[in-house]
Structure 1
Amino acid sequence: MKIKEGNLINIHHYLPHREPMMMVDYILELTKENVITSFMITEDNIFVHNHTFAESGLIENMAQTCSSIFGQSFFENPEADVKVIGFITNIKKIEILSLPKVGDKITSKASLISQYENICNMFCETFNNDELLIRAEINLFIQEVKP
């Protein structure tokens, strides 16, 4: 996928995550049902071991990619001080085919399958160029935390 720099969307407007748990750099495309994100694997990433991005890092990248679809409603106003809690409630199907290395830029594509209130079911695939790294069907829960 060719990345058009002018079309990049700041992920911080859609997720509460910050370093060192930020596993998505940019949103490349975003609708109410689909998202495409990118992430550069760096040596200092907490999920990098022996120059390889671990399985747990790929899963976290997928969860954050999926959360950006679901999180749109919570973070519509980038100036608002919204606090949310979210987590993976279930991984129904997962296939890990390969692991990226330091210096690789991975691209994740997710689609909303279904949503009921604060729980959604998503399908996501992550690629390194054209190589499929991982695919999974996951359920996420996200809720605003009121003070």
Structure 2
Amino acid sequence: METKEENIINIHNFLPHRKPMLMTDYILELTKEKVITSFEIKEDNIFVDQGLFVEAGLIENSAQTCSSILGQSFFENPKADTKVIGFITNIKKIEIFSLPKVGSTIISKASLISQFENICQIFCETFLEDELLIRSEINLFIQEVTP
């Protein structure tokens, strides 16, 4: 996938996660029903073990990618001090095929299956170039936290 600089969206506008738990770098494409994200795996990542981005990291990357679809409604105004909390309520299916190495940039593609208010079911696949790394179906819940 060719990334055009002018089309990249800062993930901080759509997720509450910050380092060391932020497992996506950029949103490459975002609609109400699908999202594509990129993530460069660095050596100091908490989910790197022996030079590989482990299963828990791939799952967290998938969940954060999926959360961008649901989270965008809470972060429509990037200047607002919005605070949200989200949970994986269910992982219906997960298949892990390969673990990427440090220095790799992975691309995750998620699409909305169903949504009811702040609960949704999303299908996600993550790739390293043309190699499928993980396929998952995740249910998420997200809500705004009031002070």
The normalised TM-score by structure 2 is 0.99
Superposed structure 1 runs of 4+ greater than 4 Å apart: none
Once the 2 structures are TM-superposed, how far is the Cα of residue 10 of structure 1 from its aligned partner? 0.4
Correspondence 1:120 to 2:120: yes
Correspondence 1:95 to 2:111: no
Identity between Structure 1 and Structure 2 (%): 78
Correspondence 1:31 to 2:31: yes
User: In 1, distance between residues paired with 2:118 and 2:7?
Assistant: 29
The normalised TM-score by structure 1 is 0.99
**Residue-by-residue CA offset, 1:38-59 (whole Å, 9 max, x unaligned):** 0000000000000000100000
Letter of the 1:146 counterpart: T
Counterpart of 1:14? 14
Once the 2 structures are TM-superposed, how far is the Cα of residue 6 of structure 1 from its aligned partner? 1.6
User: In 1, distance between residues paired with 2:72 and 2:2?
Assistant: 24
User: In 1, distance between residues paired with 2:101 and 2:3?
Assistant: 20
Letter of the 2:108 counterpart: S
User: In 1, distance between residues paired with 2:72 and 2:6?
Assistant: 20
Once the 2 structures are TM-superposed, how far is the Cα of residue 120 of structure 1 from its aligned partner? 0.3
Letter of the 1:95 counterpart: E
Once the 2 structures are TM-superposed, how far is the Cα of residue 66 of structure 1 from its aligned partner? 0.5
Once the 2 structures are TM-superposed, how far is the Cα of residue 89 of structure 1 from its aligned partner? 0.5
Counterpart of 2:49? 49
Once the 2 structures are TM-superposed, how far is the Cα of residue 2 of structure 1 from its aligned partner? 1.3
Letter of the 2:110 counterpart: A
User: In 2, distance between residues paired with 1:38 and 1:4?
Assistant: 12
Correspondence 1:110 to 2:135: no
User: In 2, distance between residues paired with 1:11 and 1:138?
Assistant: 19
**Residue-by-residue CA offset, 1:36-94 (whole Å, 9 max, x unaligned):** 00000000000000000010000000010000110011000001111111010100011
Letter of the 1:18 counterpart: R
| Pairwise CA RMSD | 0.5
* Number of equivalences: 147
Correspondence 1:4 to 2:4: yes
